[in-house]
Chains A and B, each alone.
Chain A
Amino acid sequence: MPNRYFAARHSNALPVGAAVKAAAFDYLAPRTLDQALTALSAHGDDAKLLAGGQSLAPVLALRLANPAVLIDLNRVAGLDRLQTDGAGDMHVGAMVRSRTLELSPEIARAQPLIHAAMPWVAHVQIRNRGTLGGSLSHADPSAELPAVAIACDAVLTLRSLRGEREVAAESFFKGLFTTALAQDEILTSVRFPGWPATRRCGFIELARRHGDYAIVGVALTVDIDDSAKVTAARLVLFGASDMPMRARAVESALIGEPADAALAARAASAAAAGLDLRSDHQASAEYRRELAQVLTRRALVQAFSAPAATVAGAPPGIAGGQQ
């Protein structure tokens, strides 16, 4: 997705001459996963996978990358399914579009955190093309879906000609635009574990404008037992550092405590602990630290005050990015 600070990250690499048309490349449109894997294996470093293209196309247009081959996954059969298995886990194909996630009643019911996050993802034209797999593989540190995947404890299936392996979302992200994907691997689907009745979620982000990537955002799930005590928590900060990170100090401060506003405030004070906070022309590390704490508290309050298994995230605000 393009609504992010190209220049902040690439200023010295950006070609300064006019360039908005991609350099020439060969285009492959495999129909099966095996064809795609074979092509990827054959072209190696020279190839880029094209999913929704909403991040890749601007990168190509600005000639920040000049791959020799694009392997388009849009015609690969079987990557756009969305289904729930007998255990209640939801399997989302890598090529399922953001807009499908946003509008799916099944997602709204079974995976409320995804549902809560989707309206914050860019703009409708981008969501109409952008895909789950593309967003995760691109690994933008400020994107919503990687954080949601970690908060949901999602498991990613990676395929290559060598075989298939599963990687927990938390281990998938390795750094700025860096993932556990090997050069010959394709992310094919993501398994979101079933949503227990005791689970609630919170989602909040602060961006310069609606639809921009977050300066800082928080995606979280908490399990709250009958005595209103937190039994489990996964709280992910995004935008704050080079990749989405669990705030483990906050999580451990929550466990066993009564889920109330006081706990939210207490636990949130540790939100930025141990994080290597980013600093750029939009926000200093200091500002990001303040936001991490405030937004963590607010997201916790959302989750605590929402009825179980319903969406806690407020819809995106109109005007001034108000939360």
Chain B
Amino acid sequence: MTHQIRLTVNGEAVAREVEPRLTLADFLRETLDLTGTHLGCEHGVCGACTVVVDGRSVRGCLMFAVQADETSVVTVEGLAALCPQRGDAVRRGEQQLSVLQDAFRQHHALQCGFCTSGLLTTAHALLAETPDPTPDQVRLAISGNLCRCTGYIPIVEAILDAARRLRE
């Protein structure tokens, strides 16, 4: 049996029929083709599937799409549109980057880029709530996001730098 859900995804109204067992992450990836949200473990540990639901970061693999009825969801694809932009477009610039995204690039806070979406959405929610975080607050906030490439240090630097630039 399927259920009708209506929600907002990256600012756009969406209505779909979904099977109950479809996770929110699979709904975004398979039904809406928003493949920027990644699946690293599908048992709630790695954080790659983090999306923002009604302003709060949540694990997209631990929520069923049917539960997202009447919510507002932001994925990595929607961050640039919702965040302050930096002035100069990035090369081969399919699109501009938000301050946070640009800070990730400047600090080399991504290598393989697989965990990056979840870190960006998590950091986005953090900075919305805590505009001036301490390094420890940043580390705690992203402690539920695994990254195998960077060692986290440049990610923490990028988030702190973005926070500073957003405050200015």
Interface hub of B57, B58, B59, B62 (most chain A Cβ within 10 A): B62
Complex interface residues of chain A between 23 and 59 (CB less than 8 A to chain B): 23-27, 29, 50, 53-54, 57-58
Chain B residues positioned under 8 Å from A26 (CB to CB): 1, 20
Interface string of B13-25 (1 = CB under 8 A from A): 0000001110100
Chain A residues positioned under 8 Å from B150 (CB to CB): none
Chain B residues positioned under 8 Å from A29 (CB to CB): 66
A129 touches B140 (CB 8 A): no
Which of B3, B56, B61, B63 contacts A27 (CB under 8 A)?
B3
Number of interface residues of B (CB under 8 A): 35
- Assuming A20-B42, A61-B61, is B19 touching A128 (CB within 8 A)? no
Chain A binding surface SS class: loop
Which of A23, A50, A61, A316 contacts B43 (CB under 8 A)?
A61
| B136 at the binding interface (Cβ < 8 Å) | yes
Q: Which of A117-125, A217-225, A265-273 lines the interface with chain B?
A: A117-125
A21 to B26, CA, bound (A): 10
- Assuming A22-B21, A53-B64, is B57 touching A210 (CB within 8 A)? no
Interface string of B43-85 (1 = CB under 8 A from A): 1110100100000111101111011000000000000000000
For residue B47, which residue of chain A has the nearest CB? A125
Cβ distance A264 to chain B, nearest Cβ, rounded Å: 28
Cβ distance A211 to chain B, nearest Cβ, rounded Å: 5
Given contacts A50-B67, A61-B61, list 12 more A-B pairs with CB under 8 A: A21-B23, A22-B21, A24-B20, A26-B1, A53-B62, A58-B42, A61-B42, A72-B67, A122-B144, A123-B47, A128-B56, A211-B143
B62 touches A99 (CB 8 A): no
- Assuming A123-B143, A125-B59, A128-B56, is B64 touching A27 (CB within 8 A)? yes
For residue A128, which residue of chain B has the nearest CB? B56
| A318 at the binding interface (Cβ < 8 Å) | yes
Interface string of A245-275 (1 = CB under 8 A from B): 0000000000000000000000000000000
A57 touches B62 (CB 8 A): yes
Complex interface residues of chain B between 1 and 16 (CB less than 8 A to chain A): 1, 3
Cβ distance A178 to chain B, nearest Cβ, rounded Å: 22
A123 touches B67 (CB 8 A): no
B140 touches A119 (CB 8 A): yes
Cβ distance B152 to chain A, nearest Cβ, rounded Å: 11
- Assuming A125-B58, A125-B59, A211-B143, is B21 touching A25 (CB within 8 A)? yes
Which of B1, B59, B139 contacts A126 (CB under 8 A)?
B59
Chain A residues positioned under 8 Å from B101 (CB to CB): none
Chain B residues positioned under 8 Å from A194 (CB to CB): none
A57 touches B61 (CB 8 A): yes
| A79 at the binding interface (Cβ < 8 Å) | no
Chain A residues positioned under 8 Å from B43 (CB to CB): 2, 6, 20, 58, 61-62
Chain A residues positioned under 8 Å from B116 (CB to CB): none
Chain B residues positioned under 8 Å from A74 (CB to CB): 67
| B141 at the binding interface (Cβ < 8 Å) | yes
Cβ distance A46 to chain B, nearest Cβ, rounded Å: 14
Chain A residues positioned under 8 Å from B59 (CB to CB): 54, 125-126, 129
A156 to B56, CA, bound (A): 28
